Amino acid sequence: MATTNDIKNGTVLKLEGQLWNVIEFQHVKPGKGGAFVRTKMRNILSGKVVDKTFNAGLKIETATVDRSDYQYLYQDGEDFVFMDNQNYDQLTVSAKTVGDATNFLLENINVTIALHEGTPLYIELPPSVQLRITYTEPGLQGDRSSAGTKPATVETGYEIQVPLFVDNDTLVKVDTRDGSYLGRVSE
């Protein structure tokens, strides 16, 4: 058992039989009344985000979550297969658990997987990945109707916005948090 004073970003709480990941927290000490902790939490299974307030010093139950480094191997039907970098054990993770990370998963990419009692909860990608542009329309000189960007499809099938000068078969750096273009990568 822990108290609300122990809440930090990334803490996993066990509330009413469900696991919640703390996204943001704020300790508040108003002029009148007792202190409290305001949190924004994401349900690990459903992805639902809620705001919850706890009184300061309240006892809460934290879940033990182990984060381990894994390497993505391949997709097996609907599931994804990862290999533990320490002991080379393979772990199969459902597409629902992987979620939007599929947009940035290339074979041999290293990720962090959070496990609770052996069950994968979610996948943490590196902040950015390098992906190759498989298809984009040629940029027309003087076409500024779209603020100098155009859609491009990367090798995972995900579509991003890139500057007009980017061509097919270009290696680009992409932010995994929002899918934004970060720049070209020299080969």
Listed residue (117, 134, 136, 114) closest to 125, CA to CA: 114
Q: Which residues of the chain form CATH 2.40.50.140? A: 66-124, 128-184
pLDDT recorded at residue 1: 73
Sign of CA dihedral 168, 170, 176, 181: negative
Higher pLDDT, 49 or 45: 49
Delimit the CATH 2.30.30.30 region(s) of the chain.
2-60
Characterize the bridge pairing of strands 128-136 and 149-154. antiparallel
Categorize the per-residue pLDDT at 65 as very low, low, confident or very high, splitting at 50, 70 and 90: confident
The mean predicted confidence, pLDDT, of the chain is 87
The pLDDT of residue 74 is 92
Percent of the chain with pLDDT over 70: 95
Helix (H, G, I), strand (E, B) or coil at 106: coil
Provide mean pLDDT across the span 171-177.
90
User: What are the pLDDT digits (tens) for 104-153?
Assistant: 998 899 999 988 888 888 888 899 999 999 998 886 666 555 567 888 99
- Fold of the domain built from segment(s) 2-60: SH3 type barrels. (2.30.30)
Res 35 pLDDT > 80: yes
* 100 φ, ψ (degrees, to nearest 5): -70, -10
Computed on alpha carbons and rounded to an integer, the radius of gyration of the chain in Å comes to: 21
Sign of the C-alpha dihedral computed for residues 179, 180, 182 and 184 taken in this order = positive
Tokens 């929002």 correspond to what residue? 178
Q: Taking the complete model, does pTM exceed 0.75, yes or no?
A: no
What's the one-letter identity of residue 186?
S
Contact by Cβ (8 Å): 55, 36:
yes
Mean pLDDT of 176-185: 87
Q: What superfamily in CATH does domain 66-124 come from? A: Nucleic acid-binding proteins (2.40.50.140)
Whether the pLDDT of residue 96 is over 90: the answer is no
**DSSP-based three-state secondary structure for 13:** strand
CATH number for the region 128-184 comes to 2.40.50.140
